[in-house]
Amino acid sequence: MTGAAPDRPARPEYGEYATPEEQRARIQQPDATHALSSGQSLDAPAAPVPPAPPYGSASTTPPALSAGAPAPVVPEASGPARPVRRPRTVDRIATFALLGYGLFNVLTSIPAFTEYSTYANTLLDIMGVDAEFSGGGRGWGLAAAFVLGLGWLLTATLTWLNLRRGRITWWIPLVGGVVFTLTASVLLMVPLFSDPTIWNALVGSVG
């Protein structure tokens, strides 16, 4: 004898034995079928989703780095551009010309200063003074020669230092030559003005 027994209910189809709440839950929430099958309550609140940490914190990674993209290259900060100094050709030509003239003056004057008597008589003839230097004064001539030579060396050193710094230097040999030449000239005049004969001749020529 085939067929289901009259006291055994047939297999339910399409949720016949489900309660109305379960049927509505399955219709509105398709995932509720798995929850009901596993014994979970439909009224249990869903687990809260933790908020995403703020960008830049230790637990986050920038999108570009996490995707494998290369890190952005930050250009290095460069200092202010320095102005390009143009070579001062005219200044250098004038500087070396003055230094050369000063060196020539020193080399020709030192031998004359060491022979002071000859130098003094030649100077008196040029000035038109009718007198003759009696002699002496060699120490003053050597002192004048030393001041003139040392002055040129100091002037050349100061000029070279300013040239390396890119400064205008033509005025340094000019000022140095004037200062040390005047100093040497004062030393040379001391023996002449100390001689009474020459002093009287100078005063008479002026009067």
As a whole number of angstroms, the distance between CA 192 and CA 180 comes to 19
Residue 145 within any structural domain of the chain:
yes
Residue 198 within any structural domain of the chain:
yes
The larger pLDDT score, comparing residue 9 to residue 140, is at 140
Residue 116 within any structural domain of the chain:
yes
The reported pTM is 0.55
DSSP letter assigned to residue 191: H
Number of structural domains the chain divides into: 1
For 86-94, the CB contacts below 8 A with 24+ separation are 88/168, 91/168, 91/169, 91/170, 92/163, 92/169, 94/170
- What does the pLDDT read at residue 64? 47
The larger pLDDT score, comparing residue 198 to residue 29, is at 198
Cα angle at 202 between 198 and 204, to 5 degrees?
A: 115
Query: pLDDT at residue 53 above 50?
Result: yes
Residue 189 within any structural domain of the chain:
yes
Residue 114 within any structural domain of the chain:
yes
| Mean pLDDT, rounded, for 42-66 | 53
Residue 169 within any structural domain of the chain:
yes
Q: How far is CA 182 from CA 126, 179, 203, in A?
A: 18, 5, 22
- What does the pLDDT read at residue 4? 47
Q: Which residue has the tokens 């055994």?
A: 8
Residue 19 within any structural domain of the chain:
no
Neighbours of 185 (CB within 10 A): 12
For 197, the domain range is 89-206
Backbone angles phi, psi at 25, to 5 degrees: -65, -40
Query: pLDDT at residue 40 above 90?
Result: no
Residue 48 within any structural domain of the chain:
no
As a whole number of angstroms, the distance between CA 188 and CA 117 comes to 11
